Amino acid sequence: MQHSKLASGDWSKLSFAEQMGNIGSEVGRSIRWRKKHQKKLAWQAFVRSSELLWLSVDLAKQEPCKLKELTRMRECWFDFFAFDNQYCSTAESFVKYFDAFAFLAQKRKGL
């Protein structure tokens, strides 16, 4: 696991918006590396995004709305990046989706 410090408890200290913003950072890296035809780097960022998603899913097990949001998003992300893109997602749709969470997290922190 590449996010061992976060897995040891720091991830649970972040708000949902902060978690999603951080996941979005890795998603964005995956997309950018893929566009540059850097398959290995794109895959590594995808793995990191997956790890963060699993951490968030684990924390959200007692919160049905968050859990539903995370599992649906994870399904779409995995389908887009690693499978056949049956949902017809776009790189732009993921960037837009995660940017909203990053914006909310920054707004709540007063940045």
Q: What is the pLDDT of residues 27-71, one digit of tens each?
A: 999 999 999 999 999 999 999 999 999 999 999 998 999 999 999
| Per-residue pLDDT at 111 exceeds 80 | no
61 domain residue, yes or no: yes
53 domain residue, yes or no: yes
Nearest alpha-carbon partner for 55 in 101, 105, 10: 10
pLDDT given at position 93: 97
Total number of domains in the chain: 1
4 domain residue, yes or no: no
5 domain residue, yes or no: no
Write out the residue range of the structural domain in which residue 67 sits: 15-106
Tokens of 32: 């950018």
- pTM for the full predicted model: 0.89
Tokens of 22: 């951080």
